[in-house]
Amino acid sequence: CSASTNKPVLTLFTKKPCPLCDEAKEVLEPYKRRFILQEVDITLPENSAWYDKYKYDIPVFHLNGKFLMKHRVNIQKFEDQLRKLELQS
């Protein structure tokens, strides 16, 4: 169905272990039906550019490829952006 393909993609830049990332995922749990979560492990060799950029900042979130927030989930900001994308699709 086309509804699922129109879901915004939330990219989480992470590494193991990352307690803040786990915490962030818990905060986002109630919204998980409204977006697709894509996790990028910045320690993998193919992600070295992201590692250089974000090694001191994870978790970092991009929504549909655009930087959204880092360190902690800003629910208000996340909701606003999510709603905007939902209205567009």
Residue 57 domain-assigned?
Answer: yes
pLDDT digits (tens, 9 = 90+) for 20-49: 999 999 999 999 999 999 999 999 999 999
Q: Is residue 1 part of a domain?
A: no
Longest dimension (CA), the chain: 39
Domain count across the chain: 1
pLDDT in tens, 5-28: 689 999 999 999 999 999 999 999
Is 15 within a domain?
yes
Does residue 4 lie in a domain region? no
Question: What percentage of the chain's residues is helix, strand, coil (to nearest 5)?
Answer: 50, 25, 25
Task: Name the pTM for this structure.
Answer: 0.91
For residues 74 and 82, the answer to whether their CB atoms sit within 8 Å is no
Q: Assess if residue 84 is contained within a domain.
A: yes
Domain hosting residue 66, numbered range: 9-88
Domain containing 57 — which CATH number? 3.40.30.10
Residue 2 within a domain: no
End-to-end C-alpha distance for the chain, whole angstroms? 14
Q: What is the pLDDT of residues 51-86, one digit of tens each?
A: 999 999 999 999 999 999 999 999 999 999 999 999
